[in-house]
Amino acid sequence: MKSFVTVLVNKEKINLLNFDRKGLQAFFAEMGEKPFRATQMIKWIYQEGEWDFDQMTNISKPLRAYLKENCCIIAPEIILEQVASDGTRKWVIEMGGGNKVEAVYIPEDNRATLCVSSQVGCALACTFCSTAQQGFNRNLTTAEIIGQLIAANHRVGEQGRVTNVVMMGMGEPLLNFDNVVPAMNLMTEDFAFGLSKRRVTISTSGVVPAMYRLQEVCDISMAVSLHAPTDAVRDILVPINQKYPLKELMAACKKYIENSPRGFITFEYVMLEGINDSEADARALVKLLKDVPSKMNLIPFNPFPNTDYKCSSRRVIERFRDIVHHAGIVTTIRKTRGEDIDAACGQLVGKVKDKSRRMERLQKMGLT
């Protein structure tokens, strides 16, 4: 990649990283330009790494001048890096206005996964997640989402290039639908990152209507944060369950699979001692998923300050895995990565200028 061109930050300018191919086509069409301009621009930005409009030689001079005047290409910057003993890297990424999000880079033998954030904070209040304790500020733009991938590749260079993306950082991606979908499109777009749809995964707490909408526009892999086999327990752990209970969630999963390249949903299940980790829970889970093609990913709970939850013991987690696995659901225990730098699942906090006053409310209730 050639050097980043720092375009003067001018709030009025349109950041072209906000558009996927369709968006760029519409943008150019409005200017009376042909749709192929979109592909040319995408190639310059993502394949050539050429962000200086003056250097885009196959674009006419008047159009270049117009773009220079009205548009910019700007990705957010990594302002802090922590490297864990296992090679996992956590990056703090500046989003302006006192807001910072975190992204996590997880290298493995034959792949490198980037865990990307979709919002500054999170509006949901899952009780076992530390992002939730930060409250919520705003949605990230498409440029800020795809910018995390650009920044990651830039930082690690060719050899460490990201091969897999999971939308499992801060935020609920399906509550930022309109910005997340174009970013996912750019990840899988041949002329941009060209990642296989099997290697790009969106993770949701179960925003059912958005799951149906997603299925109509995009067929990337889906992970669902399940965490409990009954409404009674899930209502507490993942409160959005009160709005979209398990029956509706399972129906949405089944529908999504019809169109998914993977043909199954990955369910995430955090192991919480004495809460959702009994043998009866495991059996109830198997029953719940009996006609949803699934894989199960058990996540040992990662603690954070001021939480009363505890992680189930290894023995209990393995027993749970065996029951689900023997019932015919491929079940893995997620290897915790980057624990020593608080980069593990649910530990991402960034810096959120909370607008939801969550901390205030929790303090009033004596919960912090």
Catalytic residue ranges: 102, 345
| Residue selected from 221, 302, 312, 331 as contacting ligand SAH according to rule CB under 6 A | 302
Closer Cβ to ligand SAH, 143 or 223, answer by number: 223
Interface stretch with ligand SAH, choices 276-284, 296-304, 313-321, 354-362 (CB under 6 A): 296-304
Rounded to a whole number of angstroms, the minimum distance from the CB of residue 284 to ligand SAH is 19
Q: What is the per-residue binding string for ligand SAH in 28-57, x denoting contact by CB under 6 A?
A: ------------------------------
Q: Is position 20 an interface residue for ligand SAH (rule: CB under 6 A)?
A: no
CA distance 285 to 320: 10
How many helices (H) and strands (E) the chain has is answered by 12, 14
Distance CA 73, CA 7 (A): 7
Beta-strand pair 14-15/71-72: parallel
Which tokens hold the place of 117? Answer: 């954030």
| Gyration radius of the chain over CA positions | 21
User: Is residue 172 involved in binding ligand SAH (CB under 6 A)?
Assistant: yes
Shortest Å, Cβ 88 to ligand SAH: 15
CA neighbours closer than 13 Å in the CB half-sphere of residue 42: 28
Residue from 17, 165, 183, 299 that binds ligand SAH (CB under 6 A)? 299
Among 112, 116, 120, 168, binds ligand SAH (CB under 6 A): 168
C-alpha to C-alpha distance for 240 and 129, rounded to whole angstroms: 14
What residues from 253 to 282 belong to the interface with ligand SAH (CB under 6 A)?
Answer: 268, 270
The span from the CA of 88 to the CA of 336, in Å, is: 10
Query: Rounded distance, CA 60 to CA 199, Å?
Result: 36
Q: Which residue, 175 or 192, is less far from ligand SAH as judged by CB?
A: 175
Least Å from the CB of residue 190 to ligand SAH: 27
Q: Is 121 in the site for ligand SAH (CB under 6 A)?
A: no
Whether residue 179 contacts residue 142, with contact meaning beta carbons closer than 8 Å, is answered with: yes
Q: Give the total of residues touching ligand SAH (CB under 6 A).
A: 16
Q: Which of residues 196-225 bind ligand SAH (CB under 6 A)?
A: 203-205, 225
Residues forming beta bridges with residue 25, ordered by sequence position: none
Out of 187, 301, 338, 352, the only residue in the binding site for ligand SAH (CB under 6 A) is 301
Query: Where do the DSSP E strands lie in 108-220?
Result: 112-115, 119-121, 136-139, 164-167, 200-204
Question: Smallest gap, in angstroms, from Cβ of residue 167 to ligand SAH?
Answer: 6
Distance set, CA 269 to CA 17, 90, 298, 333, 345 (Å): 34, 23, 5, 9, 11
Of 9-17, 71-79, 91-99, 125-133: span binding ligand SAH (CB under 6 A) = 125-133
Determine if 350 is a binding residue for ligand SAH (CB under 6 A): no
Query: Helix or strand or coil: residue 248?
Result: helix
Please state the closest distance from residue 129 (CB atom) to ligand SAH, in A.
Answer: 3
Using CB under 6 A, pick the residue from 19, 128, 193, 256 that binds ligand SAH. 128
For the stretch 191-221, what's the b/e string if a residue is b when 16 or more beta carbons lie within 10 angstroms of its beta carbon?
bbbebebebbbbbbbbbbebbeebbeebbbb
Quick check: 345 binds ligand SAH (CB under 6 A)?
yes
At its nearest, how many Å lie between ligand SAH and the CB of residue 352?
14
The region of 3-11, 89-97, 124-132, 283-291 touching ligand SAH under the rule CB under 6 A is: 124-132
User: Cα separation of 71 and 51, whole Å?
Assistant: 11
Choose the stretch contacting ligand SAH; rule: CB under 6 A; options: 1-9, 34-42, 126-134, 146-154: 126-134
Angle, CA of 150, 196 and 77, to the nearest 5°: 10
Using CB under 6 A, list all residues that contact ligand SAH: 126, 128-129, 168, 172, 203-205, 225, 268, 270, 299, 301-302, 345-346
